[in-house]
Structure 1
Amino acid sequence: MINLGAVLEWFEFCLYGYLATYLSVLFFPEEDKTVAMITVFGIFAASYIMRPIGGFVFGSIGDRLGRRYAIKLSMIIMCFPMLIMALMPTYDSAGIWAILILMFARMLQGFSVGGEYTGILVALTESASPKYRGFTNALAGLASQIGVILSATVVGLLSYFLTNDEMLSYGWRVAFIFGFVLAVISAFLQGKAKESPFFKEAKKEHKLSKSPLIDAIKGPKMPLLWTFVLTGYVGIAYYMMATFLPNSLISDKGFDVDDIMLLTVISSSVYAFISPLFGLLSDIFGRKPMLYIPIVLVAILGYPMFILFNSSGLGGILVAQLIFAVLISAMTASFQVTVTELFPTEHRYSGMSAAYNTGNAIFAGTTPMICVWLAGIFNSSYAPCFYLIIASVITLALIYKMPDTRYSEDFAAS
């Protein structure tokens, strides 16, 4: 039941990205194409600004009242922005108000998501066998990619069966209505989820903190820094692959939407079903090796992958997407369990959510916009890959002294 939230979150966030080429026309028709895309992705970034606030609120609720309660509340709130986006007017009918409504919906969505996914990671890890925390935590990665697959499938099918004019007229609304229905079902089913045994034990022993966020901030600073850095880096890599590149291939290279969505479904399927395997490998060989190896490979293979994206047909693009998917799946499976294990039970949800969502807001949420800007200012579709390569090198340096958390009985960094 817990993983339904991961499916929902990634479906809804990727849905906006996959519909960006249509939304840029509907909400920013007077802008230059590049400017319109930057603006659409700017609203994408604005939603991420709300994620730390949501993380602060839901993290504190999760540490004081229970993981299950916080996750369910965030999923209920998630229903509203999906309904708003399905019914909102376009620029032609409402002018600037249409843009403001879109931004409000996305920011409300970001607030909700800020406490949802981190709560899922905490709940899964705390419910797992000590020997298989990495494997169990990685099930969230599997669930999240099911959301991506579902999102790409919905957009791909709609664009296949509808003309471009029909997509601009009502097809994009159908996608958001589907998301609203999914949100309602997920929120209802979440009520059947069980509470974390770690939280129940802490509550029984009266160890719950009255101010978990303050305790997390006053505590050791390095777990916060490592979580912030890793989240930001993985976000850069992921959203470059999942949001920027598909839209670039459609809007700049002229590929059909349904073709690119099909490739995205294939690569996301590979990502999804190998994620638990990489989680298991982190249980066997440790978290840090399973982090370092894929980050190093991304730094080395970043430029060659961009050559395939920019200089080949669908076959070459698929190869690049699959390489990207495997590497990001590997690092994500280890990264997510690591940042969960870095914090003690009393403020795990609050501390992790604060650092995780701040990293997402600053780096992940801005990645598509920065990539479009870099490609435009340097007049080169290869420019974004250097952003990824530099981020890889900096991340490797900053996590060098991070402990391997695999054997932490209480998940707290020593």
Structure 2
Amino acid sequence: MAEPHRPVSHASLAVAAFSTIVEWYDFTLYLYFATVLSRVFFGGGAQSLLVTLGGFAIAYLMRPLGAVVFGHIGDRIGRRHMLLRSVAMMTAAMLATALLPTRAEIGAAAGGLLIFLRCVMGFSVGGEYTGVVAYLLEGAPESRRGLIASSASAASEIGALLAVGVSALTVASMSEDSLQSWGWRIPFFVGAILAGSVWVARSTMQESPEFERQQSHGTVPDVPLRHALATQRGAIARSFAISALGSITYYVGITYVPAFLTSAGSFSEGSALWLSTIAAVAVILVTPFTGALSDHIGRRPVLIILSLLSAALPAAMFSLMASGGPGAALVGALVLACVAGSFSAVGAVATAEQFAGEGRVTGLALGATMATAVFGGFTPWLAQLLIERTGWAMAPGAMIALVAVAVLPIFVMMRETAPISARPTRSASS
């Protein structure tokens, strides 16, 4: 007989969910600060911005590797140990970035060091997402999995909101000379302090009850990577599809928007960052609603609806932002942010539910994180390249629509993963 599900304490769930603030603070800070970093480390100009975004893409190649390495730790010795080690590496990378010499001080080597530290960050973040999502799924009450897993997405957006807010304040509060000589370091020092605080908070967390069950039953996989490839190939493919659309809607539809508005010439850096701050607030508001909705009607219907919206809306929104005034740009950014935030909310729980407990973190690494590496890290760079080569402002939105159309049939055929108990309207007939 299956053992009853045993949730972890509210405190442990809160630490796991809200510690994602620091994960996305630093990783999205690089994109929000891309135009500044392009001047500080690569000399400035359109080509430098492309190189800076390319560095973000290269760093993302480390994310699947980090996810597999940290996934092995999470599936072999526990989710808690995995999360402690990943945030310790993140803290070191943030602090080192804040202390980097600039191009003016050591020449082109500065840009190489920046990209190297981005790779370290990508490696550590690979372990963050998979570990947190698995922990929340396994520790939450079954009827609230969607809502609680979405809290990690909302907290991530709080981190992104903090990143864009700190970036905007930093840019607005000093001269260009001060910004390039020392002011750019401030947001990264803030991130290092946040990450150190998260490590302290995570040290108080309980272990996942699912991992404790595996230990007591002797079912912990000896080689999680081999176990996942042998038993969960279909789940890996489905989680790849979910994360592919979730990643491109987020990284092109939210974090690339400030660079798009600035490079299009319609907004200053400060104005673009403040507009993105408003969009981030919208994401925080819509995320828990979508997570709770998936608990009531299921993951599959929500995924299908959001896929249709992702196919229909983004191209028009990018065109609106490029050709309209501040009001039109705000509408476009808000629509893109709400679609992307909603997808992140349901995508988190839907990917994790594709896998059995044994090898779950490694399975997420192979599916969700691999998709994020391709459709998250490279897409801002590709969007900027397409605009520069074609002059077509709708190109980023067309990229999102293409992915949405490609994955929609998978969502249509996908079985529902939300527990029956999470859908009160159907429980009476069970």
1:27 aligns with 2:12: no
2:27 is aligned to: 13
CA distance in 1, matches of 2:193, 2:315: 40
2:127 is aligned to: 115
CA distance in 2, matches of 1:28, 1:263: 26
1:339 aligns with 2:360: no
339-348 vs 200-209, greater mean Cα deviation: 200-209
396-405 vs 65-74, greater mean Cα deviation: 396-405
Secondary structure at the counterpart of residue 177 of structure 2:
helix
CA contact (8 A) 1:74 1:113 kept: yes
Runs of 4+ with >4 A deviation: none
256-265 vs 363-372, greater mean Cα deviation: 256-265
CA distance in 1, matches of 2:97, 2:139: 35
2:68 is aligned to: 56
CA distance in 2, matches of 1:216, 1:111: 20
Given candidates 16, 19, 24, the residue that maps to 1:2 is 16
CA distance in 2, matches of 1:220, 1:21: 41
Secondary structure at the counterpart of residue 413 of structure 2:
coil
CA contact (8 A) 1:5 1:116 kept: no
Secondary structure at the counterpart of residue 321 of structure 1:
helix
Matches within 5 A, 1:237-248: 237-248=249-260
1:258 aligns with 2:270: yes
Given candidates 203, 206, 219, the residue that maps to 2:231 is 219
TM-score, normalization: structure 1? 0.95
Percent identical across equivalent pairs? Answer: 33
104-113 vs 163-172, greater mean Cα deviation: 163-172
Unpaired segments ≥5 residues, structure 1: 410-414
Matches within 5 A, 1:112-191: 112-191=124-203
CA distance in 1, matches of 2:138, 2:255: 31
Deviations 1:236-295 (A, max 9, x none): 111112222211212332413232222212211121122111111101111011111111
CA distance in 2, matches of 1:298, 1:345: 31
CA distance in 2, matches of 1:254, 1:309: 9
Secondary structure at the counterpart of residue 405 of structure 1:
coil
CA distance in 2, matches of 1:380, 1:226: 32
2:218 is aligned to: 206
CA contact (8 A) 2:253 2:314 kept: no
Given candidates 371, 388, 412, the residue that maps to 1:359 is 371
Given candidates 209, 219, 235, the residue that maps to 1:197 is 209
Secondary structure at the counterpart of residue 380 of structure 1:
coil
CA contact (8 A) 1:341 1:408 kept: no
Report the alpha carbon displacement of residue 2 of structure 1 after superposing the two structures with TM: 1.1
CA distance in 2, matches of 1:79, 1:354: 25
1:300 is aligned to: 312
Given candidates 87, 94, 98, the residue that maps to 1:75 is 87
Matches within 5 A, 1:261-272: 261-272=273-284
Unpaired segments ≥5 residues, structure 2: 1-14, 422-430
Secondary structure at the counterpart of residue 381 of structure 1:
coil
Deviations 1:362-393 (A, max 9, x none): 11100110001110111222222211111111
Count matched residues. 407
Residue type matched to 2:339 in 1?
L
2:388 is aligned to: 376
Residue type matched to 1:21 in 2?
T
Given candidates 289, 295, 298, the residue that maps to 1:277 is 289
2:425 is aligned to: none
Cα RMSD for the two superposed structures? 1.5
CA distance in 1, matches of 2:145, 2:18: 19
CA contact (8 A) 1:12 1:179 kept: yes
123-132 vs 381-390, greater mean Cα deviation: 381-390
1:234 is aligned to: 246
Secondary structure at the counterpart of residue 355 of structure 2:
coil
In structure 2, the CA distance between the partners of 1:264 and 1:273, relative to structure 1 (3 Å rule), is: same
1:412 is aligned to: none
Residue type matched to 1:24 in 2?
S
CA distance in 2, matches of 1:274, 1:300: 19
CA distance in 2, matches of 1:273, 1:252: 28
CA distance in 2, matches of 1:398, 1:287: 13
Deviations 1:330-377 (A, max 9, x none): 222211111101111111111112211111111110011000111011
73-82 vs 400-409, greater mean Cα deviation: 400-409
CA distance in 2, matches of 1:370, 1:245: 13
Secondary structure at the counterpart of residue 345 of structure 1:
coil
Residue type matched to 2:29 in 1?
L
CA contact (8 A) 2:254 2:340 kept: no
1:407 aligns with 2:419: yes
1:322 aligns with 2:321: no
CA contact (8 A) 1:5 1:117 kept: no
Deviations 1:125-177 (A, max 9, x none): 11111111111111101110110110011001111111222211211111111
Report the alpha carbon displacement of residue 408 of structure 1 after superposing the two structures with TM: 7.5
2:113 is aligned to: 101
CA distance in 1, matches of 2:174, 2:417: 50
Secondary structure at the counterpart of residue 195 of structure 1:
coil
